[in-house]
Amino acid sequence: MLGKQAAGEVGTATRILDVAERLVQSRGFNGFSYANVAAELGMTKAGLHYHFPGKAELGEALINRYAIRFAEALQAIDADSASVRAKLAAYAAVYADVLKEQRMCLCGMLAADYETLPAAMRTAVVRFFDDNETWLERVLEQGAKEGALHYEGRARDQAQLIISTLEGAMLVARPYGDPERFRAAAHRLLATLDGG
């Protein structure tokens, strides 16, 4: 009996996170409330507080879950893509897939709200971007070593440029409702790294 109850609680927590993630990705962290999530799930705000005592705890759980899924996507890219160019294209495709669902990168949206976020969420957002930069830096260094990629300066600086450009391209494509604008910008960005 206890196992079933615990499983139900995990299921409810997951559903809360799913709804909150979609709301943050479309409205921003300050653009939704517990009342929005509760109404959508047909539960009370007290029920939400049982799983996540406050919005800060909910936000931290959202970032942690998102970062884990993103890290898993990067591991899959490493496992599935032999060439560094394919890895970079697959990385940009992760962003394109989010935009195709009429959402934004969760941490990109949270970065827009950064000054109003609790300290733990701020730290988690920065960690997400740092982890992405580290992965990209490794791919870029590998590509330069193999002669497949060419860029000026340090790989870390180029990694920062890639993330900044992809996040910005998402923001600009959003009001047009046109994921192709993002894909075209990402393609042009990656073309600048051509080592051949």
Tens of pLDDT, residue by residue over 178-192, are 999 999 999 999 999
pLDDT score at 8: 54
**Which one is the CATH code of 55-191: 3.30.200.20, 1.10.357.10, 1.10.8.100, 3.80.10.10?**
1.10.357.10
pLDDT score at 174: 93
pLDDT score at 196: 57
- Pairwise CA distance, residues 161 & 50, whole Å: 41
pLDDT score at 4: 41
Judge whether 17 and 26 are in contact, CB under 8 Å.
Answer: no
- Stretches where the chain sits below pLDDT 70 are 1-10, 196
Residue 150 corresponds to which tokens in the numbers above? 């060419």
